[in-house]
Amino acid sequence: MAVLYVVATPIGNLQDFSPRAVEIMKNAGLIIAEDTRVTMKLCQVFGFHAPLVSCHRHNEGSKAGMLAAKILAEDLTAVLVTDAGTPCISDPGNEVVRECTALNISVMPIPGCCAGIAALSVSGFDAREFAFYGFLPREKKDLREKLLEIVRGVPVAVLHESPFRIIELTEAIAETIPEAGMTVCCDLTKLHEKTIRGMPAEVLAKLKANEKTEKGEYCVVLDLHGVRFPENEKQETEPSMEAKLIEEMKQGKTLWEAQEVLIAKGEKKNAVKQAAIFLKKMFGEE
């Protein structure tokens, strides 16, 4: 019977690989991997011999349907894995799962390691309610807006960050929500695993003092219980894109000129164009 197993793989320590996951991968007829070079190392250690095919974020859209069709046509036992941890959690794989379910192929999870959940479990925070956000925006303005959105929405948030941006992220958190509690985990389950706890300013100081901060992968857990939403943020209302266009037009610009000005100021092109279309309809223009 055609089946797709979504298998969690170790995030560092190979002893965390469950016996069930090992057995399923040994008997698989196809392994769908985020990066075949990474998964090949796992295959060599555990003796997996199934053919490997790559399916990552940049090619999943074009390959998912083909892979699902292959699994069904050849009645395969297929395995979906990413480089580490649980597939589809801030990693590719969801399109393969969707295409398989559309063809009525049985899709079964083989649970195991997940860096975000591992970090949450050692945070010490009340995690009866939490949300996973993965990687946050890189631009400072977008990052600040996202952090404020998180404060509005959840008591505990789990984030991912690269070693090259962890200090920038922590600086943004210290500036935007300084009252938050933080637990920052690096290289979970690996030899040099490290966990830092404290207020954002304290965590930032420890990260800056560590010469090896730019090594490893990071999971960040934010405790937002009792964090007050900044009063000045409550009072500030971002003008709509339509209002921004009208403001420029009040200064004697045409609608087209107003669009060009806003785009030059850094507004998103598609958002500006959609707002202009709305204004044309409102003014009865074709």
pLDDT beyond 90 at 110: yes
The amino acid that residue 285 corresponds to is E
Interhelix angle 255-264/269-282, rounded to 10 degrees, is: 160
pTM, entire model: 0.76
Q: Given the structure tokens 């040099």, which residue do they identify?
A: 192
Q: Which pLDDT value is given to residue 282?
A: 74
> What value does the mean pLDDT take over residues 119-131?
96
Q: Which fold has domain 116-234?
A: 3.30.950
Alpha helix ranges (H) inside the chain:
19-26, 36-46, 60-73, 94-102, 115-121, 140-153, 166-176, 200-209, 231-235, 241-250, 255-264, 269-282
Average pLDDT taken over every residue of the chain: 92
pLDDT digits (tens, 9 = 90+) for 214-224: 988 999 999 99
pLDDT beyond 80 at 232: no
How far apart CA 225 and CA 270 sit, in angstroms, is 37
pLDDT digits (tens, 9 = 90+) for 32-53: 999 999 999 999 999 999 999 9
Q: Which fold has domain 3-113?
A: Cobalt-precorrin-4 Transmethylase; domain 1 (3.40.1010)
Domain ranges of the chain: 3-113, 116-234, 237-282
pLDDT beyond 50 at 196: yes
Assign residue 47 a region (left: φ > 0; alpha: ψ between -120 and 50; beta: otherwise).
left
